[in-house]
Chain A
């Protein structure tokens, strides 16, 4: 095993003539990406420095940010959304990823029967539209028509059932768990692929050394799939802080009850597009979008510079 070699050949490239075809082949992707991603991103960032004053769009510097953090109501809404978003993320990290790893480990067991069936079954919810997932779970958990109260009644747990989606204390957890249910397939598949990549020789060597079962998983397999777990964590982070759809379908744009499920995405939607009698406010919306961008950027940077570089990669 060796660490990945640093990039080589920069010296050689300098001496060769300029290879124009590279730019030609890159151009379509760069143009499309710039048009649909980079320009809107910069436009959003730019818009967060403008606001409408007496009917005219004027540059206001950081005034929008000052409002967002200085005005007690805006600040309360923002911090509430951010806190909920962190809870949303932590539940994913604590539930989705460990279960995903565990499922992958079980699936990769050699003598497993119906492996392909389980794999498909676990992955299926990920393929469903969030609208379907949202409505199905809203129905399952409905205290009036839902199957959840009925099923819990069958095992004598009726008293433990509650209108979870309607209670400020439990709504966010319930929505997070539905999201976990939906996306569990992604960590499972990535880890599963990583586990399959571990060569037989390494496992055999471990077995010869007497490391089997749980010990083998924790001492041999887990360290080898750590980079994949790192990737999953950052994907979860980005996905969760961009999340909006599931909360919107299950709890509506006001993200009730009492804003208990309001995350940055729903807060942005309400502000930017308006809701019911509330008119859209593109400037403040762009300000929130900019904050979301910065939060995600910070998270990704911490991961890239703090964690990714320390993870040891093994090459066989």
Chain B
């Protein structure tokens, strides 16, 4: 992954140098993003497709590292050096930028009618009246598994939680695969791929999430503690030294074929496809067979317009194109695992991506519980969830203690509307 990024950067710099010299008369739009893994796709597929139709507008994609993006973008916007177009994180991070006047109001954009209210929710004001980013894609959580490992241990895809642990036990007993590839070093794996992955089944998706925001439920209530109890049981199935295992370590363990199950986000699909393994996927298991399944179908990325941009007209042309079904189709197929939010259905060719998106039909989707409104204050609920999820798996905190800490942190600043 790093090598392709590096190659991409080298490529980008040479292309940039070329563009600067040759096409001084054209307007160049700069895109800020945290998706540095996608550099190649933007340069080889998305940007050429746009430029072919819109002569006179050049586009460059200049991503930064995911963990640094928010801080870097804030600093650049304040300093006036940010690109014309900015990739929008969902919910409050972008809402804050909009409220500060850093992002342009895009409600009137023609292409916005291509998106449902749910799709736009992540980039709209709380009352839903103004939208400031064009929704691009969502990601779905689930589990990706190695079919060979399952065959070797003689197990079937689990449907219920009990079956899930039975499968893990068998793989562990069989011994040639690490049952589950996940580490707690980077912490967000435990929170995002763990807690937010299996959690919606217990708190019943949107129902629980909205109740939490309304104050009708608390994080110390059973639907919110139970996922932690289940998560704590994962510990024996993780690899040796999982406490120091980082996210790239987990990815490598799985793509090298050393692990059987990977708690995943659908964004992993394109990377995992390159490994040449036989892979399948299953949604988070339910408690009892026949229960409704819930999946985290999280609005992940949108694109907004820097209010200080000098090329707003051209940028709007680009955003209209981003909102079009044509872009949706290119994007969803170039990046299997980033599912279009466009109302027009997109035909995808990747089998793993198709499997993920098929859960939308039978399971109820929700978004990550900590993202809307609840991460507005200090201490930040999302960051605390990272720490506590890792603590629960490491055994540093009991599930109950972790839930208590989270709720206490939330109570210290969040007063739900009564």
| B residues contacting the other copy or chain, number (CB 8 A) | 44
Given A144-B239, A277-B92, A279-B96, A257:B394 Cβ within 8 A? yes
**Interface digits, B72-111 against A, CB 8 Å rule (1 contact, 0 not)?**
0011000000000000010111001000000000000000
Interface of A is mostly: loop
B residues within 8 A CB of A168?
Answer: 394, 396
Task: Decide if A7 is an interface residue (CB 8 Å cutoff).
Answer: no
B residues within 8 A CB of A279?
Answer: 70, 74, 92-93, 96
B-binding segment of A87-95, A157-165, A297-305: A157-165
**When the two chains form their complex, are residues B383 and A275 in contact, meaning their CB atoms are under 8 A apart?**
yes
Closest residue of A by beta carbon distance from B386: A254
**When the two chains form their complex, are residues B382 and A163 in contact, meaning their CB atoms are under 8 A apart?**
no
Closest residue of A by beta carbon distance from B97: A279
A257 to B241, CA, bound (A): 13
**Interface digits, B315-337 against A, CB 8 Å rule (1 contact, 0 not)?**
00000000000000000000000
**When the two chains form their complex, are residues A144 and B249 in contact, meaning their CB atoms are under 8 A apart?**
yes
Q: Which of A74, A257, A274 contacts B391 (CB 8 A)?
A: A257
A127 to B379, CA, bound (A): 38
**When the two chains form their complex, are residues A257 and B396 in contact, meaning their CB atoms are under 8 A apart?**
yes
Q: Which of A144-167 contact B (CB under 8 A)?
A: 144-145, 149, 162-167
Task: Decide if B186 is an interface residue (CB 8 Å cutoff).
Answer: yes
A residues within 8 A CB of B246?
Answer: 138, 142
Task: Decide if A70 is an interface residue (CB 8 Å cutoff).
Answer: no
Closest residue of A by beta carbon distance from B253: A144
**When the two chains form their complex, are residues A253 and B391 in contact, meaning their CB atoms are under 8 A apart?**
no
Most chain B beta-carbon contacts within 10 A, residue among A73, A253, A284: A73
A104 to B409, CA, bound (A): 50
Q: Which of A142, A144, A278 contacts B380 (CB 8 A)?
A: A278
A143 to B243, CA, bound (A): 9
Task: Decide if B195 is an interface residue (CB 8 Å cutoff).
Answer: no
Q: Which of A73, A149, A253 contacts B379 (CB 8 A)?
A: A73
Given A259-B387, A273-B71, A278-B380, A144:B245 Cβ within 8 A? yes
Task: Decide if B28 is an interface residue (CB 8 Å cutoff).
Answer: no
Task: Decide if B183 is an interface residue (CB 8 Å cutoff).
Answer: yes
**Interface digits, B205-247 against A, CB 8 Å rule (1 contact, 0 not)?**
0000000000000000000000000000000000111111110
Q: How far is the CB of A315 from chain B (nearest CB, A)?
A: 51
**Interface digits, B191-208 against A, CB 8 Å rule (1 contact, 0 not)?**
000000000000000000
Q: Which of B137-151 contact A (CB under 8 A)?
A: none
B residues within 8 A CB of A254?
Answer: 187, 383, 386-387
A residues within 8 A CB of B243?
Answer: 163, 165-167, 257
B residues within 8 A CB of A43?
Answer: none
A residues within 8 A CB of B185?
Answer: 163, 165-166, 256-257
**When the two chains form their complex, are residues B244 and A164 in contact, meaning their CB atoms are under 8 A apart?**
yes
Beyond known contacts A162-B241, A166-B184, A167-B244: 12 more, CB 8 A cutoff: A142-B245, A163-B241, A166-B245, A254-B383, A257-B187, A258-B396, A275-B70, A275-B383, A276-B70, A276-B188, A277-B370, A284-B378
Interface of B toward A, CB cutoff 8 Å: 67, 70-71, 74-75, 89, 91-93, 96, 183-188, 239-246, 249, 252-253, 370-371, 375, 378-380, 382-383, 386-387, 390-391, 394, 396-397, 409, 412
Interface of A toward B, CB cutoff 8 Å: 71, 73-74, 138, 141-145, 149, 162-168, 252-254, 256-259, 273-281, 284
